[in-house]
């Protein structure tokens, strides 16, 4: 049976009605990718209030990586709800928090001994990672990257690169944040058309006549030396694959050079794995396949498959720098969310889960690269594992971003039963955040709709 089943025009009457009320009652700030209102969700399918069934190719922005209402996660949450839902870790501790910390610490054996702090959202964990780094180094400056996205709180906004809509009108931002060029080799100065990423990403040696990783690193190091002074840098924060910025993987050699630079200068290297985590790139964390270990890793989204939970995990020497009472929050590491995270981590202990994610990634890669040959509107198909995207341009030579085309395909997709999101500094990238439990028939069913969306661009 097909997953997609549409009974009404999209959006249906009940969705329209609720959206009209939303307009009157709800702050207009939160964006909406679709005009749909959910009634039920299971696996890769969301059913709306009008009874229409959609394939969800967003996983709630990279959260429900194991699919909606994963049965093991639901059982764990229900069981916890029968015991207690809140005591606050600051008042009466509970095993779930401690066990999640233990499990996350084990993910970074090269950084052992590790410790973990739990919070609620990705932005909150980013904030706290910066606190740990500043406390541990006694320094102030933090270097973030172009295309970086780290959340909506003030420090997270300051670290985020894109002004509109994330930052416009909200200044002033916290000081001592500096920005380096991200290794986006599709748009790197002087690089024409074809070079998508450094070949060294796979085998560890740069093979281009121009080593772009070294160029990007040299630009970074020079900025840090000239504008900040290495001895003033507390932390460098980077997404191993720029997520909101356009699904741009940072090549492993570049990350290795950053690692060496941080070691040389006593700087805390933070990987923001909020979007890349929990199988999204084909490994539990992206850093595990890139062979570069950060001092701190920030996690959220897929960690609890839909319950709000985030974490900062890393070197005990850094985490221990913040003393008793220095970080925290009433809801941090909520018991229901911890129960969900433990179930998520158990699910990933089964190697077939990541193996399937990798297969999905391969199939997606093949399909998107084939589209790139066929549709001139696609400037580049790229990604890491199943975290994949296509960047749309109105002209391949000039690489002029085509945001309108991306919006048109997103709209075509939901009108025909697939929920899809755009991203990118220029809003012109179609990203695929499919549930990692999606079966191949569902993948093909959803891709057929999106392919028709691309065809409809004319
Ligand atoms: C890489 C990255 N960091 C941080 C965040 C912020 O997470 P949250 O929305 O949970 O605050 C996001 C959210 O998209 C993200 O993709």
Give the tokens for residue 42: 């299971």
Which has the closest alpha carbon to 258: 200, 216, 217? 217
Give the tokens for residue 153: 């709180």
- Please tell me the distance between residue 13's alpha carbon and the centre of ligand 1 in angstroms: 32
What local confidence, expressed as pLDDT, does residue 209 receive? Answer: 66
Distance of CA 296 to the CA centre of its chain: 16
What local confidence, expressed as pLDDT, does residue 193 receive? Answer: 54
Phi and psi at 366, nearest 5°, equal -60, -45
Write out the residue limits of the CATH 3.40.640.10 domain(s) in the chain: 72-349
The CATH fold assigned to 72-349 is 3.40.640
Q: Which of 274, 280, 302 to mutate to test the pocket of ligand 1 (most atoms within 8 A of CB)?
A: 274
What local confidence, expressed as pLDDT, does residue 203 receive? Answer: 44
What residues of the chain score a pLDDT lower than 50?
Answer: 196-197, 201-205
Write out the residue limits of the CATH 3.90.1150.10 domain(s) in the chain: 13-56+352-455
Q: Note the pLDDT tens digit of each residue in 256-278.
A: 999 999 999 999 999 999 999 99
**Is any atom of ligand 1 closer than 6 Å to the C-beta of 277?**
no
Q: Which of 151, 248, 306, 309 to mutate to test the pocket of ligand 1 (most atoms within 8 A of CB)?
A: 151
**Is any atom of ligand 1 closer than 6 Å to the C-beta of 121?**
yes
Q: Hey, CA dihedral for 369, 375, 380, 385, is it positive or negative?
A: negative
- Please tell me the distance between residue 206's alpha carbon and the centre of ligand 1 in angstroms: 31
Strand pairing report for 429-432 and 421-423:
antiparallel
**Is any atom of ligand 1 closer than 6 Å to the C-beta of 126?**
yes
- Please tell me the distance between residue 241's alpha carbon and the centre of ligand 1 in angstroms: 13
Atom of ligand 1 nearest to the CA of 310: 10
The model's pTM is: 0.97
What local confidence, expressed as pLDDT, does residue 284 receive? Answer: 98
Q: Note the pLDDT tens digit of each residue in 329-352.
A: 999 999 999 999 999 999 999 999
CA atoms within 13 A on the CB side of 243: 27
The CATH fold assigned to 13-56+352-455 is 3.90.1150
Atom of ligand 1 nearest to the CA of 121: 10
Atom of ligand 1 nearest to the CA of 275: 16
Rounded CA separation 198/211 (Å): 8
């Amino acid at each position: 049976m097909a997953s997609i089943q549409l009974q009404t025009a999209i959006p249906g009457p009940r969705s329209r009605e609720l959206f009209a009320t939303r307009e009157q009652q709800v702050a207009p700030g939160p964006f909406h990718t679709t005009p749909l209102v959910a009634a039920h969700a299971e696996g890769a399918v969301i059913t709306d209030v009008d009874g229409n069934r959609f394939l969800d190719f967003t996983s709630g922005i990279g959260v429900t990586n194991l699919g909606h209402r994963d049965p093991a996660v639901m059982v764990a949450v229900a069981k916890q709800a029968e015991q207690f839902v809140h005591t606050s870790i600051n008042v009466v501790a509970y095993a779930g928090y401690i066990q999640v910390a233990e499990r996350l610490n084990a993910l970074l054996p090269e950084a052992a001994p590790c410790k973990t702090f739990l919070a609620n959202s990705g932005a909150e964990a980013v904030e706290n990672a910066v606190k740990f780094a500043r406390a541990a180094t006694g320094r102030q400056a933090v270097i973030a990257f172009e295309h970086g996205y780290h959340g909506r709180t003030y420090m997270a906004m300051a670290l985020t690169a894109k002004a509109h809509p994330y930052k416009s009108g909200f200044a002033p931002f916290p000081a001592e944040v500096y920005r380096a060029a991200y290794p986006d080799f599709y748009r790197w100065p002087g690089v024409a058309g074809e070079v998508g990423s450094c070949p060294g990403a796979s085998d560890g040696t740069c093979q281009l006549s121009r080593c772009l990783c070294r160029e990007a690193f040299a630009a970074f190091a020079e900025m840090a030396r000239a504008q900040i002074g290495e001895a003033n840098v507390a932390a460098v924060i980077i997404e191993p694959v720029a997520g909101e910025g356009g699904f741009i993987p940072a090549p492993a050699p570049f990350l290795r050079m950053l690692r060496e630079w941080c070691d040389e200068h006593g700087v805390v290297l933070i990987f923001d794995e909020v979007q890349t985590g929990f199988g999204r790139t084909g490994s539990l964390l992206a850093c595990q396949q890139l062979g570069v270990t950060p001092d701190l890793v920030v996690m959220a989204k897929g960690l609890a498959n839909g319950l709000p939970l985030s974490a900062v995990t890393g070197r005990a020497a850094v985490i221990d720098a913040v003393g008793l009472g220095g970080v925290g929050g009433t809801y941090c590491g909520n018991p229901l969310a911890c129960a969900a995270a433990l179930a998520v981590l158990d699910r990933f202990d089964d190697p077939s889960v990541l193996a399937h994610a990798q297969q999905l990634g391969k199939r997606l890669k093949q399909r998107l690269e084939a589209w790139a040959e066929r549709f001139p509107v696609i400037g580049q198909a790229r990604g890491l594992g199943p975290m994949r995207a296509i960047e749309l341009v109105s002209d391949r030579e000039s690489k002029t971003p085509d945001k309108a085309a991306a919006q048109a395909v997103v709209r075509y997709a939901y009108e025909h039963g697939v929920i899809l999101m755009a991203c990118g500094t220029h809003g012109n990238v179609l990203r695929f955040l499919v549930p990692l439990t999606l079966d191949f028939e569902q993948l093909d069913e959803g891709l057929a709709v999106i392919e028709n969306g691309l065809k409809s661009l004319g």
